[in-house]
A and B are shown apart, each in its own frame.
Chain A
Amino acid sequence: DTGVSQDPRHKITKRGQNVTFRCDPISEHNRLYWYRQTLGQGPEFLTYFQNEAQLEKSRLLSDRFSAERPKGSFSTLEIQRTEQGDSAMYLCASSTTGPTNEKLFFGSGTQLSVL
């Protein structure tokens, strides 16, 4: 399968702990996005990479959140000192540049539960 892969699928942690999620995009895609989704809401943009450069971050993104994409391949999203409000589905998507408007390919997400 050459789709977007996310790991782990589920994560349960205690408040105050740090968590890290991984996203492996489609290999030829140079753009990578992180979104967060809570129950009943649409996905909310968090951050965006083109190759290894992080070009955009949501103003809503707390400084407890950090994302990396070393070498422009896989990406990690780390949440430090987790809070119960961080409980959500974290989605990764990738796409590629082109002459027409792009379309996003999403992974199945990581469901985070903070107790």
Chain B
Amino acid sequence: LAKTTQPISMDSYEGQEVNITCSHNNIATNDYITWYQQFPSQGPRFIIQGYKTKVTNEVASLFIPADRKSSTLSLPRVSLSDTAVYYCLVGGTPGAGSYQLTFGKGTKLSVIP
């Protein structure tokens, strides 16, 4: 199982772009990279998923370099409501169960007014 490393915490001011980088040096060929967001007293919420290059949706962008040993979640113009814990997960062969996905401690993002 691919292990991930991400910063424990980050602070940002409102309106700034936030980039959270996750390292996954032993990512396997079939592994996808998925990011979840979690607010206190709630379950994690899917943000974005990618395999290579760049993926963008209405919430965030995910940048994955060619070697796929890291990935960066980019949150444009954060607001106070983006204060949460962000988890980077690697794994999950297409069609297989996600039980292979391991949540680390995540990155606690604090947005400051």
A-side interface residues toward B, CB under 8 Å?
A: 4, 31, 33, 35, 40-45, 48, 50, 55-56, 89, 91-93, 95, 97-109, 111
Contacts and interface: CB of A to CB of B under 8 A. Distances in A.
Contact of A42 (B49, B51, B95, B103): B103
Contacts, number: 72
Given A42-B105, A42-B106, A103-B49, A108 B98 contact: no
B44 A56 contact: no
Given A50-B97, A99-B94, A104-B46, A41 B34 contact: no
B99 A109 contact: no
B44 A106 contact: yes
Interface magnitude class on chain B? 20 to 34
A107 to B, nearest CB: 5
5 contacts: A42-B103, A43-B103, A44-B103, A101-B32, A109-B42
Given A101-B32, A101-B34, A109 B41 contact: yes
A98 B43 CA distance: 23
Interface of B is mostly: loop
Interface in B31-52: 32, 34, 36, 41-46, 49, 51
Interface string B40-79: 0111111001010000000000000000000000000000
Interface of B: 32, 34, 36, 41-46, 49, 51, 85, 87, 92-95, 97-99, 101-106
B100 to A, nearest CB: 9
A60 to B, nearest CB: 12
Nearest to B92: A101
A55 B106 CA distance: 27
